Structure 1
Amino acid sequence: MLNSTYQSCIQACSNCALVCETCAASCLREDDVKMMARCIELDRDCADMCAIAAVLMTRDSPYAKAFCKLCAQVCRDCAEECGKHTHDHCQACAEACRKCAEECEKMAA
């Protein structure tokens, strides 16, 4: 069973990691990949950060709160970049990142 203290944040991080990976893969299939470069970079960083944050919370690591603070920042940056693009995968990613950032900010408080 997931640590109930962290459950909603773990779920938001896990979801965000998957949505970011999907967005990055979809961006690579776009006609103008160069235009999507920053989005892809942030998607990959955000996916990794979210995955690690979820693992740290699952372990009840003493570093979880500090890591969640950084994860929230990366999620906000990714949401801002993805939000600039009209592709459905970018808009879905921006939304998942915003939700994850909110959960991580609550956790880090």
Structure 2
Amino acid sequence: MHQQHQQLLDALNACIAACEHCATACLQEDHVKMMARCVALDRDCSDLCALTARFVARGSEHASHLMRECAELCKACGDECASHQHQHCQECAEACRRCEQACRQAMAA
């Protein structure tokens, strides 16, 4: 597997883990209703990253379509998470930004 693909897969997998952790932690916050959008985006982002990773790993000709959507969703999730002060949200925002960048770099290559 190309080094670039491995870096993308690493970023996708890190984003999946961060989003899953963030969603779970958000559900344990005192004001969970305020975290509803964050949880929804975390779940969507995690699922799309997982699907994108599978398409990239198998070398699908349709991987680029998913990378485009994944970059957009990672940006939306990262922006939402960055608006919260919780440590798990800040960590998720960083993982989302790295994944967004990795998807955009892979599409440009």
The TM-score, its normalising length taken from structure 2, stands at 0.96
- For structure 2, the residue ranges without an aligned partner over 5 or more in a row are none
Question: What is the one-letter code of the residue matched to 1:105?
Answer: R
Question: What is the one-letter code of the residue matched to 2:62?
Answer: Y
Q: Is the 8 A contact 1:66 1:108 kept in 2?
A: no
Indicate the residue corresponding to 2:47 in structure 1: 48
* Identical aligned residues as a percent: 47
Indicate the residue corresponding to 1:96 in structure 2: 95
The equivalences for 1:5-84 within 5 A come to 5-84=4-83
Shift of 1:31: 0.3
Secondary structure at the counterpart of residue 6 of structure 1? helix
Shift of 1:65: 1.1
Q: Deviations over 1:28-78 (max 9, x none)?
A: 000000000000000000000111111111000001111101100000000
Indicate the residue corresponding to 1:105 in structure 2: 104
Q: Runs of 4 or more off by more than 3 Å in structure 1? A: none
In angstroms, what is the RMSD of aligned CA positions?
0.7
Aligned residues: 107
In 2, the alpha carbon distance for the partners of 1:49 and 1:108 equals 16
The TM-score, its normalising length taken from structure 1, stands at 0.96
